Amino acid sequence: MKEVLLEKIQDRRATIGIIGLGYVGLPLAVEFAKGGFKVIGYDVSERVCKSLMEGHSHIQDVPSAEVAKLVRQKLFEATTDESRLHEADAVSIAVPTPLVKTRDPDMSYVIAATDAMTRQVRAGVLVVLESTTYPGTTREVLLPILTKLGLTVGENVFLAFSPERVDPGNPKYHTKNTPKVVGGITAACTEVATALYAAVIDQVVPVSTTEAAELVKLLENTFRSVNIGLVNEMAIVCDKLGVDVWEVIDAAGTKPFGFMKFTPGPGIGGHCIPLDPHYLAWKMRTLNYKTRFIDLASEINSQMPAYVVEKVAQALNEERKPVNGSRVLVIGVAYKPDIDDIRESPALDVIRLLEQDGADVVFHDPHIASYREDGRTHSGVELSKDELKRADAVVIVTDHKSIDYQMLMDNAALIVDSRNAMAKAVKTKARVVSLAKTRFAGMAVDPA
């Protein structure tokens, strides 16, 4: 069976099923289709499938024209009909893995997707879990289901985990040129999964087990969370010492070895970094081990929105204004620059906290016209001189490239800049407050 599947992959006769057509699943589906495979994308969302079949992409990094072309060529099809998965020779699962309120893993999407796969799976198929999850998920959750069906993993069905590393908005690295890690339940599973991804992705990195592959993703995102936590704490340290944190980081960044530059900000967002480390923390709690770095980084990062709000309150106070009743214009609500994703965005916390203190908050984001939270729609405003002049404080939460920062400098009275976005603007009107308040005057250096 392995040889048959390998042959089908090699000559592009294999049909690929992708469960979940979001930030991860859609780019992957498109990559397989562009590679000449027939791809069936299964998603529970009627809206997502319909718009894809009409040639509209809902994912910023995937051009609609590309989707439309692949649909026309009959290489890609999006469907809510689960039974179509029966046609697939390989099925990748890319559904959400959020946390429940107690920060424990919410595996309901993975379980629902696995159930759908189970109802349709047949002998000779490769199943790959791509959703970020705790080490052991593939072996503990998916393997028993396949075994119960009477299939023998490694012989007549193949099971692997392959973490997705997509970085939305990254102009350089995308699905095809980002190395893909793959770990199978057996060596045969790893071999088949490696062959599948190698057909469309430049570099595949096989590891020995599904647990290793699961942990790779968690290490990568925990690494980011911890380093962002460290540099956020450094911003607080610099504030207390009266030192310019950005100058310190830039200078440290000139070290050609042993240092990697991370920058402070209003906190972390997105579907990955705020959540994934908690999958590992949860798993380790079940083994009676407390992951201290994860917990500490999470604590520091999750306090950053409140720290930004405190900066706004202090800055307004210096102008003899209370937060209550002040008009605050938040720039950028996406969780990172140049994307349209607000999931877990610290901007939402900043806005909520400012509103709790009585501020009249409006926002501008070139990528997000409006968003809904707690049953309320927040609509963005246009960025105009008038809007800037009306604001008692402008808070830069996300530094999108397309914002005219000089216009902010020339028209706003007070800017609280959590991203160092104003560094390149020529100092004119606005008072700019950074995350860390500097106290010392720069030393004049006379070259003579």
Residues that bind ligand NAD (CB under 6 A): 19-25, 42-45, 48, 94-97, 109, 112-113, 116, 131-132, 164, 166, 168, 271-272
The angle subtended at Cα 147 by Cα 143 and Cα 153, nearest 5°, is: 70
Q: Which is nearer to ligand NAD, 75 or 116 (CB)?
A: 116
Q: Which is nearer to ligand NAD, 97 or 411 (CB)?
A: 97
Q: Which is nearer to ligand NAD, 48 or 395 (CB)?
A: 48
Q: Which is nearer to ligand NAD, 132 or 232 (CB)?
A: 132
Q: How far apart are CA 219 and CA 273, in angstroms?
A: 11
- First-residue to last-residue Cα distance in the chain: 79
CB of 326 to ligand NAD, least distance (A): 35
**Which residues, including other chains, have CB under 8 Å from residue 321's CB and lie 6 or more apart?**
392
Q: Which is nearer to ligand NAD, 218 or 328 (CB)?
A: 218
Helices (H), 337-384: 346-356
Helices (H), 149-254: 187-198, 210-241, 245-252
**Sequence-separated contacts (24+) of 275-278 with Cβ below 8 Å:** 275/97, 275/98, 275/99, 275/132, 275/344, 276/132, 276/217, 276/218, 276/221, 276/222, 276/225, 277/218, 277/221, 277/222, 277/225, 278/99, 278/103, 278/104, 278/105
Residue 272: active-site member: yes
The token pair at 172 is 């350089």
Residue 127 has phi, psi (to 5 degrees) of -115, 130
Active-site residue identified among 49, 189, 238, 272: 272
Q: How far apart are CA 365 and CA 400, in angstroms?
A: 8
CB of 271 to ligand NAD, least distance (A): 4
Q: Which amino acid is at 85?
A: L
Name the residue number minimizing CB distance to ligand NAD.
22
CB of 47 to ligand NAD, least distance (A): 9
Give residue 180's Cα distance to chain centre: 17
Q: Which is nearer to ligand NAD, 25 or 266 (CB)?
A: 25
Q: How far apart are CA 325 and CA 393, in angstroms?
A: 12
CB of 34 to ligand NAD, least distance (A): 18
CB of 332 to ligand NAD, least distance (A): 18
CB of 301 to ligand NAD, least distance (A): 17
Question: What are the catalytic residues?
Answer: 272
